[in-house]
Structure 1
Amino acid sequence: MRILSALLASSALMSAVPVAAQSGAIVPSQTPDEASDKDASDQAGEQSVINDRTAPEGTLDVIVVTAQKRSQNLQDVPVAVTAISADALVNRNVATVSDLPRLAPSLTVTQGNVPTNNSINLRGIGTIAFSTAIEPSVAVIVDDVALLQQAQAFSGLSDVARIEVLRGPQGTLFGKNASAGALNIVSEGPTRYLTGAVTGTVTTDEQYRIDGVVSGPIGDSVGFRLNGFYGDRAGYIDNVYDGRRLNNDKSYGVRGRLAIEPSPIVEIDLTGTYSVSESDGTARTYRTVPAGSAIYGSPLSNTLVGITPGEDNFDTAFDGPLFNKSKSALVSGRVTVDLGSVDLVSITSYQDWRFRFIEDFDYIVGTVIGLPNGIVAESSYMASQFAQELRLASNGGGPVNYVAGLFYANGETDRTFDRGPSGPAVAQWNSSNGTKSYAAFGQVSFDLAQSTHVDVGLRANHEKIDVTYINNVAPAVPPANNARCNSLCVGEASDSVVTGKIALRQDLSDGVMAYASYSTGYKGQGYDISTGFTPARAADPVKPETSDAYELGLKSRFLDNRVQLNVAAFWTDFSNFQAQSGVQLPDGTIQLQLNNVGSVRTRGIEVELEARPIEALRIDGGISYTDAKILKFPNAQCYTGQTEAEGCLPVAGSPTGLQDLAGERLSNAPEWKFNLGAKYDIYMPSMPFDAFVQADVNYQSDVSYSLLANPLLVQDAYALVNASIGIDQNERGGMRIALFVSNLFDKSYASALGTPAGGSAGLVAQTLPRDARRYAGIRARFSF
């Protein structure tokens, strides 16, 4: 009853407040006729999805993307791109980057206990590393600014115009940390007419969120946009020991944007963003607990009182802390000068990210290795980066078009780590790593014939990296610990590389284009900054990871522009793949650290469909088949409990053996994945509003969450169904109310599986995402 009352009260409250659409469409303050098509295009520019309002009613919109750093029709770009609009994000209840796999084929997200352990994966390739100095395989770009740490992307989404999911190496235009692909997030820009919106969301699992935006002109040559949000969601994991509800989320943020035209040929876009997110951690629960299981020798029997382990176990128990908090700030300035046939673009940015977590390391109740309160780990991060990009982009429609530029970035990440207070798990250290990048890039497109086109691109990149590591734990048992940094370790290195791409495009008919491309990817070298850092690691960073990618694609629209079908077939080989693996130390023990383990291959096919068979019905979906396998991975650490009969080769003097993983599948890389959604508009001419119904289904085949091929860490195939129904005023501005349900059939699944540190063989813990069980809600938006 309390939830129902809150739903009704929220709806009643918002009905008294004017609100505006977040889709970025121009909402005039006078009459609709006064907003011309040119106004819409000018207002959107490179920063939004442009709808072709001249197209006949009931056909598909033309989507303009910046996947190649120039405004282009999605169907003319020889890249596998999923463009997700603002409306799709709202209609599908996408609130964070973790929700995006429901809308994009070949995209998965691996969820760790803290955001710094999360990984965005494309076509089976991602990076899971404890080190702050190791770059991701998938770059995240927000309004033309690449984020320094991928964890920054998990702070929530608000007032987004579109998200482009670019699959395959994108390093030629987007830099060295896009060897597997990129997420290009574009926020809404100012409008030429005064608009505003307030959106409120309330759910049955006790989420309360409000988003607001106001946008319009300030005089004749200045436009502004200001948006903010506040959200508070209760936890859905119960700590039966002390009654805490974990995995909650409390966040808020604000973004301000100014568009200034000081002269007819100069445009200035200034953006500032600040957001805060905090929660009582990402708690894991136990899925499998064999008899006699223990953590660091302490039995789990007392911890599991009142808990039934299993796939749908949302209960846990531990007596320590669990908390994390992040603060993110980003300011950028974009200046565009129209030089006639070419635009000169300058993008200057500065980003600052702070993150802190504290957690119960052993995750049990009671004494652990003689410590009454067990082991506690805490860490803090401070990351900042200044970047400058200068580029020339042609804006003509002739046979030759190009983009060329220079790039510089200077970033630094500091981290402190403390795990103790004593015992075998103790670790206390500080670190600082820096990276400076210098690059020159260019891509040219030219017509070999009227229907045949070639795209050629190159990027030359030079990078300098450095590390400072201070070990605050004195060596305990010489000589074993003498191999570690007893106090201070420093290192520096540099590397240069040239990557490139070539694509051949052929127009087969009006609305049908085929392409073939070859590109190379590069993920820079880096230091494995983690507990046990040694002078040897400081002197010899992990080598760069490189890739060679081949792709065939078909992009088509037919049936009078009512059906869009895009297909991509890909084959990518990765060399010097960066991953955690076992390394044998001089004393005979095996230490888990990051290094170049060998090579992997990913290949497959992706199909995306969008259709509007009748004006009232929209259908969209995608399906992917991905064969992501390890080709060479010797000396991988054995998983906990692995026997010699199961492929674990014992190492004398070490409790941990080694295995060869050649032929195994990569982790969190489902072979099959598909999504299908439909929205049907119910027109009611006699009413002041129309109605709609919407449903979507998302499926993925079974995946292993273990790079070490532990057969216990496999999530079975599952499908989720979501649905919504609502009303929408059939005029610009007005009211929209939707009732929605997520995970309609209450299907439980894990977003990560693992074996706890110090745990017995066969013990399995799981991370359950919010939508691993059903919840419903209401979303109301009012706009002017």
Structure 2
Amino acid sequence: MRDLTCAMGPGRLRSALLGFAAILPCEAYAQQAGTPAPPMPAARVAEEPASDPALQQAPDGGIADIVVTARRSSESAQRVPIAITTVTAQNLTQLTVRDIIDIQKVAPGLTISSQNTGARAKLTIRGQSEADSRLTTDSSVGIYVDGVNLLRDYGLRSSLVDIAQIEVLKGPQGTLFGKNTTGGALNITTQHPVYEWGGYVDLVYGSYNNAQALAVLNAPLVDDRLALRLVGQVITREGYGRQGNGQDVGDDNVWTGRALLRADPTDAVHILLSGDYVRQRNNGTNTILTNDSMLQNQNSATGALGAIAKQLGLNPASAADRLTAYQAWRVYYDRYRSGSFYDGFSVPPPDAPSSYDDIDHYGFSGTLEVELAWAKLKSISSYRRLIRTNSVDNDATPFDLLSPYPTTHQRNLSQELQLSAIDGAGLDWQLGLFWNRETGNENSVSNNNNYVNTTRAVVTEGDIENSSKAAYGQAVYHFTSRFRMTGGIRYTSDKRVLDSKNRVDPTLAFSPILAFTPGRCNLLTPALGGRSIRTAPIACRRRRAR
């Protein structure tokens, strides 16, 4: 894979790099505590507090600090009394991290698994992870981007662009974070606008025509008062395989955009407005057969073999015809066993769409900080919207047996207020209020074996409304520079409402297929990878000759 990166300085091209991307050990210096973050800060991975401080050397030979916001305030990572791993922008660049899944390579205790739909990334910290992704459940690992809690992680794999720092917090997080999480939190800070012209372009090309283009522009609109940062990324890649109808599967087509507007109307008032959007239009993933239990578990007139017989124009009630149906199914099972892993054989019926995996996930947020004479007041407001639709042929054959069509529509509003007085001496304290309201609808149409059993044309639907309110506080008293005591308290009230509308809808069942229609007969030809069923091609030829 070739990687071309161009950085733009004031009115000119500063540097260009062409080479091979690889994961190599990196050595860099940490950002000094108390200094403002530059557009692309250089830093190293900060391991847990017990890590060897000798590994974190400042340019002058002393020990360097990495500034983190793990406790909702800027402080040295070495002084934070929690288990934390910090990965900075320099690490992301040197390790060629383009996918959030790669973060687990440098964060002990964190496991990230790729999910098949919606560009999801399932996060697990110390064994704690979500049970499922439905709107009625919350993840045990919180995800925060610039202080905003992302309740749903769809599209997260594609939005790891122009990042300043990632903090992996291990263990329960509740006292100082808006939402309670039992496993931990992923605290992501993006690059914010600065008051100088700059930007960069990053281009990647790899196998399967994998093309990625990332462009960033930083523009000072008003000197020291207003600045804008625009980020855009396009990812395209051909599929790793093809289905029986020639459609690519395992492809990637994602557009990501982010805009941040920074305003500092006075020295005591700071505003950051942000908007982001992830759009994915993929064909979904391939499904393969790994178990041969048709004759034992699906051999009935209303089971899978009955549905296959019906689609072949045979009699589902006939044991002999169901055996013929099994032989037809076994063609594809044998092909998968012989090594057809990436290519599949799914072909949608005439009145059903091809497989797809679409998401639109976007949001807006506003952060206001006011420096008072005696404290700092901070407000974080956000609105997020998620639209997800996908279809996957789960039976992995040209026959229509298991084809769910799930959709998710979600809206989320949140508001957080923080009041703090922190100077690292004497008494430091923080108070906060948090409110969140999530509404949405989840709908899944399942047409399992409905050619022979209309009662399996099932709609699973639910309207949800989740709300959360919390008040929290924490105080730290510094007796000396080496001894301090921390105390905190939190009150949370969560409410969940589910209006379930599950039902059977026979009108969703597919129409009966005429005996030996050419389209279905062609599914049994060797051209699609299997041996022919003798009776079917003969009957097909007879039908076409009429």
Q: Give the structure-1-normalised TM-score.
A: 0.52
The structural deviation recorded for 1:266 is 0.6
The answer to whether 1:316 aligns with 2:316 is no
Instruction: Map 1:330-349 onto structure 2 (within 5 A).
Output: 330-349=363-382
**2:157 maps to which residue?**
154
**1:510 maps to which residue?**
none
The answer to whether 1:41 aligns with 2:74 is no
Q: Is the 8 Å Cα contact of residues 118 and 359 (structure 2) preserved in structure 1?
A: no
The answer to whether 1:127 aligns with 2:130 is yes
**1:434 maps to which residue?**
465
Q: 1:456 to 1:100 in 2, by over 3 A?
A: same
Instruction: Map 1:8-87 onto structure 2 (within 5 A).
Output: 41-42=35-36, 55-56=58-59, 61-87=64-90
Higher deviation after alignment, 431-440 or 286-295: 286-295
Instruction: Map 1:157-176 onto structure 2 (within 5 A).
Output: 157-176=160-179
Q: Structure 1 CA distance, aligned partners of 2:403 and 2:290?
A: 23
Q: Structure 2 CA distance, aligned partners of 1:152 and 1:49?
A: 27
Q: 1:268 to 1:252 in 2, by over 3 A?
A: same
The structural deviation recorded for 1:262 is 1.0
Amino acid at match of 2:435: Y
Q: Secondary structure at the match of 2:504?
A: coil
Amino acid at match of 2:470: A
The structural deviation recorded for 1:245 is 2.8
The structural deviation recorded for 1:289 is 5.5
The structural deviation recorded for 1:90 is 2.8
Q: 1:245 to 1:450 in 2, by over 3 A?
A: same
**1:570 maps to which residue?**
none
Q: 1:283 to 1:474 in 2, by over 3 A?
A: closer
Q: Is the 8 Å Cα contact of residues 118 and 358 (structure 2) preserved in structure 1?
A: no
Q: Structure 2 CA distance, aligned partners of 1:243 and 1:88?
A: 41
User: What are structure 1's unaligned runs of at least 5 residues?
Assistant: 22-36, 367-372, 477-784
Q: 1:411 to 1:309 in 2, by over 3 A?
A: farther
Q: 1:213 to 1:120 in 2, by over 3 A?
A: same
Q: Secondary structure at the match of 2:490?
A: strand
The structural deviation recorded for 1:54 is 11
**2:406 maps to which residue?**
379
Instruction: Map 1:145-224 onto structure 2 (within 5 A).
Output: 145-220=148-223, 221-224=225-228
Q: Secondary structure at the match of 1:89?
A: helix
Q: 1:38 to 1:91 in 2, by over 3 A?
A: closer
**2:251 maps to which residue?**
248
The structural deviation recorded for 1:290 is 7.8
The answer to whether 1:389 aligns with 2:431 is no
Q: 1:78 to 1:305 in 2, by over 3 A?
A: same
The structural deviation recorded for 1:60 is 6.7
Amino acid at match of 1:302: V
Q: 1:130 to 1:161 in 2, by over 3 A?
A: closer
**1:456 maps to which residue?**
487
| Aligned residue pair count | 445
**2:496 maps to which residue?**
465
**1:234 maps to which residue?**
238
Amino acid at match of 2:401: G
The answer to whether 1:302 aligns with 2:331 is yes
Per-residue CA shift, 1:136-171, capped at 9, x if unaligned?
111111111111223353343111111111111012
**2:539 maps to which residue?**
none
The structural deviation recorded for 1:305 is 5.4
Q: Structure 2 CA distance, aligned partners of 1:130 and 1:261?
A: 39
Q: 1:464 to 1:248 in 2, by over 3 A?
A: same
Q: 1:209 to 1:394 in 2, by over 3 A?
A: same
Q: Looking at CA atoms only, which structure, 1 or 2, has the larger radius of gyration? A: 2
The structure where helix makes up a greater share of residues is: 2
RMSD of aligned C-alpha atoms? 3.5
Amino acid at match of 2:365: S
Q: Structure 2 CA distance, aligned partners of 1:49 and 1:444?
A: 32
Q: Is the 8 Å Cα contact of residues 158 and 256 (structure 2) preserved in structure 1?
A: no
Q: Is the 8 Å Cα contact of residues 329 and 353 (structure 1) preserved in structure 2?
A: yes
Q: 1:209 to 1:396 in 2, by over 3 A?
A: same
Q: 1:399 aligns with which of 426, 436, 444?
A: 426
Q: 1:340 to 1:211 in 2, by over 3 A?
A: same
Q: Structure 2 CA distance, aligned partners of 1:90 and 1:159?
A: 10
Higher deviation after alignment, 329-338 or 297-306: 297-306
Q: Is the 8 Å Cα contact of residues 251 and 277 (structure 1) preserved in structure 2?
A: yes
Q: 1:453 to 1:425 in 2, by over 3 A?
A: farther
Q: Structure 2 CA distance, aligned partners of 1:440 and 1:48?
A: 34
Q: Structure 2 CA distance, aligned partners of 1:257 and 1:405?
A: 25
Q: Is the 8 Å Cα contact of residues 109 and 126 (structure 2) preserved in structure 1?
A: yes
Q: 1:12 to 1:384 in 2, by over 3 A?
A: closer
The answer to whether 1:418 aligns with 2:445 is yes
Q: Structure 2 CA distance, aligned partners of 1:281 and 1:336?
A: 43
Instruction: Map 1:74-153 onto structure 2 (within 5 A).
Output: 74-115=77-118, 119-129=122-132, 131-153=134-156
Q: 1:184 to 1:155 in 2, by over 3 A?
A: same
Amino acid at match of 1:307: Y
The structural deviation recorded for 1:286 is 4.2
The answer to whether 1:272 aligns with 2:250 is no
Q: Is the 8 Å Cα contact of residues 20 and 197 (structure 1) preserved in structure 2?
A: no
The structural deviation recorded for 1:89 is 2.0
Q: Structure 1 CA distance, aligned partners of 2:65 and 2:474?
A: 24
**1:262 maps to which residue?**
265
The structural deviation recorded for 1:182 is 0.8
Q: Structure 1 CA distance, aligned partners of 2:119 and 2:203?
A: 30
Per-residue CA shift, 1:369-409, capped at 9, x if unaligned?
xxxx3342112111111111110122323122122111111
Q: 1:94 to 1:287 in 2, by over 3 A?
A: farther
Q: 1:247 to 1:430 in 2, by over 3 A?
A: same
Per-residue CA shift, 1:716-754, capped at 9, x if unaligned?
xxxxxxxxxxxxxxxxxxxxxxxxxxxxxxxxxxxxxxx
Q: 1:276 to 1:474 in 2, by over 3 A?
A: closer
Q: Structure 2 CA distance, aligned partners of 1:330 and 1:302?
A: 47
Instruction: Map 1:599-610 onto structure 2 (within 5 A).
Output: none
**1:657 maps to which residue?**
none
Q: Is the 8 Å Cα contact of residues 411 and 438 (structure 2) preserved in structure 1?
A: yes
Q: Is the 8 Å Cα contact of residues 41 and 50 (structure 1) preserved in structure 2?
A: no
Q: Structure 2 CA distance, aligned partners of 1:54 and 1:102?
A: 22
**2:320 maps to which residue?**
none
Q: Structure 1 CA distance, aligned partners of 2:279 and 2:336?
A: 33
Q: Is the 8 Å Cα contact of residues 7 and 14 (structure 2) preserved in structure 1?
A: no
Q: Is the 8 Å Cα contact of residues 341 and 395 (structure 1) preserved in structure 2?
A: no
Greater relative contact order: 1 or 2 (C-alpha under 8 angstroms, separation 6 or more)?
1
Q: 1:475 to 1:278 in 2, by over 3 A?
A: closer
Q: Secondary structure at the match of 2:116?
A: coil
**1:361 maps to which residue?**
394
Tell me the percent identity: 25
The answer to whether 1:408 aligns with 2:411 is no
Per-residue CA shift, 1:481-503, capped at 9, x if unaligned?
xxxxxxxxxxxxxxxxxxxxxxx
Q: Structure 2 CA distance, aligned partners of 1:38 and 1:85?
A: 13
User: What are structure 2's unaligned runs of at least 5 residues?
Assistant: 16-30, 45-55, 299-303, 309-325, 349-353, 508-546
Q: 1:191 to 1:61 in 2, by over 3 A?
A: farther
Q: Structure 1 CA distance, aligned partners of 2:290 and 2:445?
A: 28
